[in-house]
């Protein structure tokens, strides 16, 4: 199935070896690795840096701290995933994670340090402090910065911003690229030997979300229309604490705030999390979100509160500068005021079904990051495993796609793929309406 009418015989085209759709951590890391073997082209429907990665606050869970071990991280991931995780994928994530982080540091990534050593924090579901972070609470921004730097200096990687993927070009169970709309240039076909979907999550289909404006689920929709299998679509993670100001967009209040001692209270000033879980504020996200919703219902309120007033003022300023600035813009001083919070759609656990190497049931089509699903997270993602997933599996998928291109292999230009759709009397495609349809 296709969404628009087109004919490969008379549509302008571009050729590349590997097409990467999406520019978050997974897409960028996949492009860097793929470029070791072939020419890569990244397309993104907004500016290159616009993604969920850019907005990620908390950090990256990785086994680098003293006393930690692969088995402890694996155990936490499996437990929080409610026993539904793909254990092979979990082990790959955890064991390859340190390599990817050391690589970032070699490239120039600046993670926060204490006395010259990496600084670690704790988040919900973890049995110890194993989350590294950057610029206090702007880890995603630092990650995006260094990956974009590596992409832009690589002569094997080209970038097309403001380019909207409308359809995957597919025939007889194989993918040959995509039909796209390039801003101010119109509709084109991009022929590719391999195509990697790294389009992120689905947050924007919800009224309230922590996600970037580009997180509309387009990659999953495109893959499904082309015949790809989806998996675990019933599992959508809600983040327990997003800033709730009526009429304002929802801003994430990182889980690390509770990891550093932040307390959840109801409108009567009562802590309540220990009623629902023995770990209190550090209960897994699904437990914390349900507990908050129950408390809201029982107290007949629209939100609960996050209390940081007992924490050192200078520590808060240094550790959570972005959160402090956001709250301050609404007249909230986190050093003394309660922060109104409630759960909001945050992360798509399900997605395009992939094998460990990122391949799908469609030949030459791969997926990685939030848009993909290997079963890694089970029914519930462990905090700060998502950026690590993008790094580890982005690298793996880029490598797999690149290595699968045979020496001398030519881009397969198909004699003809034609899609004819009846739009009545309309002669022009309404791209904006099409984008809205994909989003819905």
Active site residues: 285
In whole angstroms, what is the distance from residue 283 CA to residue 343 CA? Answer: 14
Which of 201, 179, 185, 198 minimizes the C-alpha distance to 48?
198
| Exposed e or buried b per residue across 193-226, where buried means at least 16 C-beta atoms within 10 angstroms of its C-beta | bbbbbbbbbbbbbbeebbbbebbbbbbbbbbbeb
Which of 360, 241, 222, 348 minimizes the C-alpha distance to 295?
241
In whole angstroms, what is the distance from residue 297 CA to residue 310 CA? Answer: 27
Coil/strand/helix, residue 423: coil
| Exposed e or buried b per residue across 273-304, where buried means at least 16 C-beta atoms within 10 angstroms of its C-beta | beebbebbbbbbbbbbbbbbeebbeeeeeebb
428: number of Cβ within 10 Å: 6
Which neighbouring-strand residues pair with 367? Answer: 197
Which of 378, 257, 374, 357 minimizes the C-alpha distance to 309?
257
Terminal CA-CA length for the chain: 17
Beta strands in 56-134 (DSSP E): 60-61, 113-114, 117-118, 120-121, 131-132
Could you give the residue ranges of the DSSP H alpha helices within 262-406? 285-299, 313-319, 321-328, 386-403
């Amino acid at each position: 199935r296709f969404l628009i009418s087109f004919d490969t015989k008379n549509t302008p085209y571009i050729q590349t070896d590997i097409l990467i759709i999406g520019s978050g951590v997974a897409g960028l890391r996949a492009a860097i690795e793929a470029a070791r073997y072939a020419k890569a082209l990244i397309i993104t429907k907004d500016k290159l840096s616009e993604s969920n990665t850019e907005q990620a606050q908390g950090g990256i869970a990785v086994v680098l701290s003293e006393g930690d071990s692969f088995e402890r991280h694996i155990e936490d991931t499996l437990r929080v995933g409610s026993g539904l995780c793909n254990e092979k994928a979990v082990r790959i994530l955890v064991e390859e994670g340190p390599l990817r982080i050391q690589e970032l540091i070699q490239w120039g990534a600046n993670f926060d340090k204490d006395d010259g050593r990496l600084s670690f924090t704790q988040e919900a579901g973890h049995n110890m402090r194993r989350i590294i972070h950057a610029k206090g609470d702007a880890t995603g921004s630092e990650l995006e910065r260094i990956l974009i730097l590596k992409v832009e200096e690589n002569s094997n990687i080209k970038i097309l911003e403001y380019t909207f993927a409308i359809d995957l070009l597919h025939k007889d169970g194989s993918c040959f690229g995509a039909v796209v709309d390039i801003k101010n240039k119109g509709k084109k076909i991009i022929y590719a030997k391999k195509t990697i979907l790294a389009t992120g999550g689905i947050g924007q289909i919800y009224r309230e979300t922590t996600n970037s404006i580009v997180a509309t689920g387009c990659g999953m929709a495109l893959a499904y229309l082309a015949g790809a299998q989806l998996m675990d679509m019933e599992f959508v993670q809600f983040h327990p604490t997003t800033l709730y100001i009526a009429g304002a967009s929802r801003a994430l209040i990182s889980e690390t705030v509770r990891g550093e001692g932040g307390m959840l209270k109801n409108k009567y000033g009562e802590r309540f999390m220990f009623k629902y879980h023995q770990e209190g504020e550090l209960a897994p996200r699904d437990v914390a979100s349900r507990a908050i919703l129950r408390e809201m219902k029982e107290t007949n309120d629209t939100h609960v509160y996050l209390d940081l007033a007992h924490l050192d003022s200078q520590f808060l300023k240094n550790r959570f500068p972005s959160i402090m600035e956001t709250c301050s813009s609404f007249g909230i001083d986190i050093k003394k005021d309660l922060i109104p919070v409630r759960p909001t759609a945050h992360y798509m656990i399900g997605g395009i079904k992939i094998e460990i190497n990122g391949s799908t049931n469609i030949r030459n089509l791969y997926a990685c990051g939030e848009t993909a699903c290997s079963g890694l997270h089970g029914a519930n993602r462990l905090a700060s495993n998502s950026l690590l997933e993008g790094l580890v599996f982005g690298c793996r998928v880029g490598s797999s796609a690149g290595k699968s291109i045979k020496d001398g292999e030519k881009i397969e230009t198909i004699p003809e793929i034609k899609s004819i759709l009846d739009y009545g009397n309309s002669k022009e495609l309404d791209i904006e309406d099409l984008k809205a349809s994909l989003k819905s």
